[in-house]
Amino acid sequence: MIYLDHAATAPVPRAVADAMYQVLTEQYGNPSSQYPFGSEMKKRAESWRRAVAALLDCPAEGLHFTSCGTEGDNWALRAAVWQNRHVGNHIVTTAVEHSAVLECCKWLEREGWEVTYLAPDQDGNLSAEQVLEAVRPDTAAVSVMLVNNELGNRYPVGAIARGLAARNPKTLLHTDAVQGLGTFSAKDLGADFVTVSAHKIGGPKGVGALYMGPRVKNPRPLLAGGGQERGLRSGTEATAQLAGFAKAAELRLERRTEIQGRLAGLKAHALDRLLGFPDLTVLGGVSSDTAPHILALSLAGWPSQNMVNDLGAQGICISAGSACHQGKPSHVVAALKLPKRMASGVIRLSFGPETTEAEIDACVQALRRHHDSRMPML
């Protein structure tokens, strides 16, 4: 199998699986238990928190474990508007956010909040100025993702954070940084809420984290119960998942520079192999402002799901957009307002540290065979 869908989820290294297995079979105590076995697990949970915080470059006391990026996004938005409920009822976000943000915003609209959805240009780009111009005196929260999960565009979260200090210093800033985990410093980024997830960097599914910065005051608890996660997210800690997340974070931190260089090289190789490919357009631009592990393409006239199915039958895994859409049309592609033939032919290749140039070559060859053996859509 050739796996080129790392933006959907990443394979779990053996070291991560081993760390989880040890907790499941030997270190299975409940961190809330009051005897030494439980107390030891409490200490381990805090050490795992520090490991993940090190990758984010944030204080461990501001990092709260969650079950996934979706939970983190929902928690951040609801905590932000709750804190700023006396500032106003306006939210600014983008039309290309992850569904977790957009669906939460729709919930908030039904509860009386006003949401401004900013559209990118046809390359998927958004400027900090575009975001800041939408901020008003009654803007409670701004939510802009760090890296778009379908296009790979990086958005200027740091510049937005700096601009908010002058535009409206009370407005709280959230960023979904799931696709950028391991590439940024939360301290330098300046966002008040930063959402991340383990399974994009080789950790297990079912665990993520939400960093809350110093401007977040008395955040509204996500769940009521036994008071875990400093009283903000009750529920017995998923210790095996935490151990796996921590190990994945440690591995990524150790190889961060190497991995980013390798991913950039793989993307450059793919772009080189795609030169001269008929009817093909690279989306999201090819500048340094795009993430090195995501490459969005359009084969105008050839339906994306047909390509996914054809290559899948050959053992090559690519995507027609975010796996979270579950086959639904992509709101990200719709926001670009591309011509119909181009929009219907969008696919995503996404790479990981173990991806090889030979695998990319095989994928490009399969796409060429698909193009040459099928009639285009009118």
Q: What is the largest CA-CA distance in the chain?
A: 70
Return the SS3 of 242.
helix
Query: Are 329 and 336 a contacting pair, CB within 8 Å?
Result: no
Contacts 24+ apart (CB under 8 A), 269-275: 269/357, 269/360, 270/295, 270/349, 270/351, 270/360, 270/364, 271/295, 273/360, 273/361, 273/364, 274/364
Q: Which two structure tokens, joined as six digits, stand for 122?
A: 């046809």
Rounded to 5 degrees, φ, ψ at 222 are -75, -45
CB-based contact 208:72 (threshold 8 Å): yes
The one catalytic residue among 58, 317, 324, 363: 324
Q: Are 67 and 265 in contact (CB under 8 A)?
A: no
Q: Please state the φ and ψ torsions of residue 308, each to the nearest 5 degrees.
A: -60, -45
What are the backbone dihedrals phi and psi of residue 48, each rounded to the nearest 5 degrees, phi first? -70, -35
Is 324 designated active site?
yes
Contacts of 17 (CB under 8 A, 6+ apart): 244
β-bridge mates for residue 325, sequence order: none
Please give the positions annotated as active site: 324
